[in-house]
């Protein structure tokens, strides 16, 4: 998530390890990050950092993991990542959600397990962020249109029942790179849900380039109606940015809401 990585400060430790340090209250967040990386690693579709330790010491909570010398990905690397993401999404569960909650940036992300994706997204993604925005002082049109969208969200899923795919959850351009010629992803917000949510995030904040999307589509084409659902899923992240970083994201949130409720 641009603007703020997982709440915690990356601290280089050696040529093979680095540590993210936070306050003692960050322990649960780091534990969830470690479990998320383990979930992604288990799928074997895309390389992720190895986690060496999670815990607390005199300086607070920490997570220690594999350190990469990252390079900017080229077109062929983006294509490899696109095919790898489709392979990751082929790893599915019986239910949407996850066995534990985690965070998106520093915002709580609730992941109760359910077979109803539309209700899950309405309550635990869209409505959660709208309620947080109301507490942060963003009322008026944002809430009016947000409530209208929540009521009719099911219309975007007519004829579409997504499988609970394994998701990175926060896959923007700053959360991948290339190490030793291999794409690597990191800083996840893992859960199981509609694979289109990961694609939506890749199209925010710069996108991943045509080679990435062509490779993904060759491996697993998106379903009809995905364009509007991508905007719905982007709204979740834009609202989260509004709640974390302030009114600079209000116009973008309103623009998405106006298109989704027109």
Catalytic (active-site) positions = 170
Q: What CA–CA distance (Å, rounded) separates 225 from 215?
A: 20
Report the 3 state secondary structure along 221-262: CCCCCHHHHHHHHHHHHHHHHHHHHCHHHHHHHHHHHHHHCC
Tokens 């084409």: give the residue: 221
3-class secondary-structure state, position 211: helix
Helix, strand, coil in percent for the chain, rounding step 5: 50, 20, 35
Q: Give the span between the Cα atoms of 53 and 57, in whole angstroms.
A: 12
Bridge pairing between strands 60-66 and 17-22: antiparallel
DSSP 68: -
Helix (H) or strand (E) holding 44: none
Task: Give the integer Cα–Cα distance in Å for 177 and 169.
Answer: 16
- Which residue is associated with the tokens 């929540």? 150
Q: Mention every residue, 6+ apart, whose C-beta is less than 8 A from residue 210.
A: none
Nearest in space to 63 (alpha carbons), one of 108, 119, 137, 5 = 5
């Amino acid at each position: 998530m641009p603007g703020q990585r997982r709440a915690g400060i990356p601290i280089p430790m050696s040529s093979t390890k680095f540590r993210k340090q936070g306050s003692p209250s960050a322990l649960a967040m780091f534990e969830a990050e470690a479990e998320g990386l383990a979930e992604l690693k288990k799928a074997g579709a895309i390389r992720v950092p190895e986690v060496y330790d999670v815990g607390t010491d005199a300086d607070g909570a920490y997570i220690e993991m594999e350190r990469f010398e990252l390079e900017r990905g080229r077109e062929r690397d983006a294509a490899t990542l696109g095919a790898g993401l489709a392979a990751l999404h082929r790893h599915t569960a019986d239910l949407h959600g996850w066995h534990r909650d985690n965070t998106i940036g520093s915002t709580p992300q609730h992941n109760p397990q359910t077979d109803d994706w539309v209700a899950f997204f309405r309550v635990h993604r869209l409505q959660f962020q709208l309620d947080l925005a109301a507490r942060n002082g963003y009322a008026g049109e944002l809430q009016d249109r947000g409530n209208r969208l929540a009521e009719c969200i099911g219309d975007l899923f007519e004829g579409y029942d997504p499988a609970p795919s394994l998701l990175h959850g926060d896959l923007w351009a700053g959360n991948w790179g290339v190490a030793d010629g291999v794409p690597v992803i990191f800083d996840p917000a893992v859960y199981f849900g509609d694979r289109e949510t990961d694609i939506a995030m890749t199209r925010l904040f710069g996108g991943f380039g045509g080679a990435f999307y062509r490779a993904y589509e060759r491996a697993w084409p998106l379903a009809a109606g995905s364009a509007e659902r991508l905007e719905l899923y982007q709204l979740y992240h834009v609202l989260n940015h509004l709640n974390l970083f302030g009114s600079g994201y209000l116009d973008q949130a309103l623009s998405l809401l106006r298109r989704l409720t027109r």
